[in-house]
Chain A
Amino acid sequence: MKTLFSGRRLVVLAAYLVIIVLAPLLSPKGYWVSLLCRIGITTVFALSFNMLLGQTGLLSFGHAVYFGLGAFATIHLLRAIQQHAWSFPITLLPLAGGMCGLLFGVALGYVTTRRAGTTFAMISLGIGEMVAASSLMFPAFFGGEGGVSGNRVTAPGWFGITYATPLQMYYLIAGWAFLCILAIYTLTDTPLGRMANAVRDNPERAEFVGFDPQWVRYLIVVLAGFFAGVAGGLAALNYEIVTAETLSAATSGIVIMMAFVGGIGHFAGPIIGAVLITVLQIVVAGMTEAWPFYFGLLFALLVLYAPGGIAGIVAEHKRLFDAGQLGRALHGYLLGLLPFTLCAAGAITLVEMAYALANTPDRRNAPLHIFGTTLNAGRPFGWVPPIAAVIVGALLLRAIARRTRGRDLVYTSLLQRQV
């Protein structure tokens, strides 16, 4: 008999456990641990989002509602503990965030899940905006512009752990993230989890095998609300401040991006996306002010050329490897490397020039040092080389793609897209 944690799954699980335990020891620098904390939080958030999109086919534009309300509930409880109005172990406080997310899932999900598809997406957008707007209308609870802050270091908790150091906080996040990932994964192997897939594929047929699709969607929204709430609770403890931005459309948007970039069709996809986007947010934001633009570009290109996300790309190459055609694909990539670099360098130059042009006059006319050359955004002629680079690079890439991708390759990728 197959058990849940046997064979390869057990290996993956053990490897994951080793990684999260050892990761903070790789670098003693403060930002490394804080980056890992962020990754842990966003991973849980992105996975809870994908319970809706990937598993049940529900595109939510308002998933930050559950994340943010869970965070606010947690920070208020933390303040109550601080003022000795209430006593509760800090270690278990994310659970309160989860319960808050769950309760709002029960209340809001009943309205949102009546319909799937575009209707669900629009209602989730509306509710998201509603809650975000109310955060500024009720400053007593949401803290207005400044948000609500607290202090997680109250009294020594279990085993004398106070969560005073970032490392202790990291292990709290890692522990909760591990449990949540395990739980969300386990849910995919339950009758409800499989029926969620069935409702995603064909809600009508689900009705004709005895299930109410609306009830299936509702239960999934409630459960996803719980995990988003736990993630919010972890965020509240980690940052010790919660602002209205936590439940804004921007937060709902970034989680959609994480899930898509990582790949909604695979369980690990949102994890990959959460790690990548979180790292990029810090690394790229440190390099250029135009970083949101690059995010948009990356997102658009991935949705266009790799709708399965990074997990989908990996899966496709595994298939190519199994079919003995990986060499051919790699050959194509090698040929495409130079044109791709040309194209990317041109695009990056254009973005930076556009950004400089939109800036103050002295920035506009200042020379721009990029890729070993110096350009000036204020002079029209300076735009010619990057535009040429993009066009030539793109044309070459297209020619190479046509030549190396045999008919059979195109065919398999078409088939995948239909699936």
Chain B
Amino acid sequence: MTAPALRLAQVRKSFGRTEVIRGVDLAIEKRERHAIIGPNGAGKSTLFNLISARFPVSSGTIEVDGEDVTGLRPFQVHRRGLSRSFQISNLFHNLSVFDNVRCAVLWPLQYRYSFWHRLSGLRDAANRADEIITAIGLSRRRGTPASMLSHAEQRALEIGITIAGGADVILLDEPTAGMSHTETADAVRLIRRVTEGKTLVMVEHDMSVVFGLADRISVLVYGRIIATGTPDEIRNNVAVREAYLGTELADARGA
């Protein structure tokens, strides 16, 4: 049996006296699309920050592809094949779209801290960056500084940077936040395409996105996962309905 792509065991996180994540166990299989949902303040973003090592865990262990990554720094976790996006776009704002993406492919292509390679001569890095830019639909904005992009374009670039390194485990934090209906539909298509063959974990508020994309869903309420299952199982789970969903789930079913 192969190890799950991502495994959390009894993960806890406290800020001061407040325990925000209260013992999360979760195993996500390879090539699974997994969504984490839950009411506001349930700790979804905190959980992402723990998995990606943005915050240290208070206790518990996190494994990526069977390897313990607890206590590592974010760049070390990234080098082990886990990449994340941010809820509020977190870009290199003075750099062009092209450079934003190219920065994300340098480490995996083994260029690392090199000051003996000529960057503009690295065809593999440029080609890979251009492939990504085409995939996220920003070819026409290739030379534009990230700060000059529209909100939807910044969200697309955010996803582009996240997937550019070729990580096997992709964490997307509310990828469609603040988007219109058409933009959301485009974003879902994009996510589906670029995470093909990869493990996807996402936090998302838009239930149509969640139920359209996810193979399995976990419901996080007050720092605990109260249910994990297929979209159908979650829809029909009594505890989930009582604790949280109700109206939103009914909407999603009706849609």
Contact = CB atoms under 8 A, between A and B. Distances in A.
A30 interface: no
A206 interface: yes
B117 A202 contact: no
Contacts of B99: 194, 197-198
Contacts of A206: 75, 92, 103
Given A191-B117, A192-B114, A205 B95 contact: no
Interface residues of A, number: 34
Given A190-B119, A209-B104, A197 B92 contact: yes
Given A194-B99, A198-B103, A208 B78 contact: yes
A92 to B, nearest CB: 22
A205 B90 CA distance: 6
B113 A191 contact: yes
A207 B73 CA distance: 8
A198 B145 CA distance: 12
Contacts of B122: 191
Given A190-B115, A219-B113, A419-B147, A208 B84 contact: yes
A210 B147 contact: no
Contacts of B112: 191
Nearest to B108: A210
Contacts of A210: 75, 78-79, 104, 106-108, 165
Nearest to B94: A201
Contacts of A208: 52, 74-75, 78, 83-84, 90
Interface string A228-261: 0000000000000000000000000000000000
Interface in A174-214: 186-187, 189-195, 197-198, 200-202, 204-212
Nearest to A220: B115
Nearest to B85: A208
A356 to B, nearest CB: 47
Interface string B104-134: 1011100111111111111100000000000
Contact of A419 (B73, B94, B104, B161): B94
A75 to B, nearest CB: 29
A3 B119 CA distance: 11
Contacts of B121: 1-4
Nearest to A213: B75
A397 interface: no
Contacts of A419: 93-94, 145, 147-148
Contacts of A193: 115, 119
Contacts of B47: none
B48 to A, nearest CB: 11
Contacts of B219: none
B50 to A, nearest CB: 14
A356 B107 CA distance: 62
Interface string A1-26: 11110000000000000000000000
Contact of A191 (B114, B123, B161): B114
A212 B12 CA distance: 26
Nearest to A219: B113
A204 B113 contact: no
Nearest to B158: A205
A3 B106 CA distance: 20
A340 B26 CA distance: 69
Nearest to B147: A419
B91 interface: yes
Contact of B90 (A1, A192, A204): A204
Contacts of A223: 115
Contact of B92 (A2, A191, A205, A219): A205
Contacts of B114: 190-192
A210 B123 CA distance: 20
A369 B140 CA distance: 62
| B52, B94, B114 pick with most chain A CB within 10 angstroms | B94
Contacts of B94: 197, 200-201, 419
B115 A209 contact: no
B95 A198 contact: yes
A287 to B, nearest CB: 39
B102 interface: yes
Contacts of A216: 113
Contact of B74 (A3, A187, A197, A207): A207
A192 B108 contact: no
A223 B113 CA distance: 13
Contacts of B119: 189-191, 193-194
A2 B86 CA distance: 35
A359 to B, nearest CB: 48
A201 B74 contact: no
B161 A209 contact: yes
A215 interface: yes
Nearest to B122: A191
A207 B94 CA distance: 17
Given A4-B120, A201-B92, A194 B102 contact: yes
A210 B77 CA distance: 8
Contacts of B92: 197-198, 201-202, 205-206
A216 B108 CA distance: 16
Contacts of A194: 95, 99, 102-103, 106, 119
A418 interface: yes
Contact of B75 (A190, A200, A211, A418): A211
16 contacts: A189-B118, A189-B120, A191-B115, A191-B117, A191-B119, A192-B114, A197-B94, A201-B94, A205-B90, A205-B91, A208-B74, A208-B75, A209-B104, A210-B165, A219-B115, A419-B145
- Which A-B residue pairs are the 3 nearest by beta carbons? A210-B107, A201-B92, A207-B74
Given A190-B119, A202-B92, A210-B75, 15 more contacts: A190-B118, A191-B106, A191-B117, A192-B115, A197-B94, A201-B91, A201-B92, A205-B91, A208-B84, A209-B103, A209-B161, A209-B164, A210-B79, A210-B106, A210-B165
